[in-house]
Amino acid sequence: MALSDLNPAERHRHISATFTDRVRATKHWDAPSPVADWTARDVVRHLVEWLPSFLAAGAGVDLPGGPSVDDDPVAAWQAHCDGVQALLDDPGTPQRMLVNRHVGEVPLDQAIDRFYTTDVFMHTWDLARATGQDDRLDADFCEMLLAGMEPLDDVLRSSGQYGPRVPTPADADAQTRLVGYIGRDPFWTPA
């Protein structure tokens, strides 16, 4: 089944499993990443740290805590990931709403899916590339995300969450185009 056909809980389970594999296989946490001024550890830190406050402020949800990313990035990621999955697996979550001045009112499971799970998907490339692992992303999901993001270019760029678009070859595949769109050099390698 295609990633785009999955419900939010199943899509998170699949995407986070791939990211978890990259986290567990990381040997050098201070390796530079394709995100300027970030290391491999910072990629994990970003994902572990931004969602809890977003959920607490917008939906009154407190995710369980874990160890710090500085002390144990693998355990920090796993505790965070398990907490998000438990929230998505809760049958009451789709009936809850997240309210945010930037996105309005969105069912909680869809908000997590749209803003967080897709972030995990895209940052999988960053962590894999930083640590010399398999950086291939699902091509169909890359194409779907890119098609959904391109019409929102001005909004996304003004959010400060994406760098300037990096030009890619005209015949580039969907992953290369998505990575360039979100402001990464698709041909980046550690120095």
> Which pLDDT tens digits describe the chain residue by residue (191 residues)?
899 999 999 999 999 999 999 999 999 999 999 999 999 999 999 999 999 999 999 999 999 999 999 999 999 999 999 999 999 999 999 999 999 888 889 999 999 999 999 999 999 999 999 999 999 999 999 999 999 988 887 877 777 778 888 999 999 999 999 999 999 999 999 87
Q: Which residues contact 108 (CB under 8 A, 6 or more apart)?
A: 55, 59, 61, 87, 93, 94, 96, 97, 98
- Would you call 48 exposed, middle or buried from its count of C-beta atoms within 10 A (0-12, 13-18, 19+)? buried
Which domains are seen in the chain, by residue range?
Answer: 3-136 (1.20.120.450)
Whether pTM exceeds 0.85: yes
> What is the rounded distance in angstroms from the CA atom of residue 76 to the CA atom of residue 189?
26
Q: Are 130 and 33 within 8 A, CB to CB?
A: yes
Burial 121-151 (b: 16+ CB within 10 A, else e): bbbbbbbbbbbebebebbeebbbbbbeebee
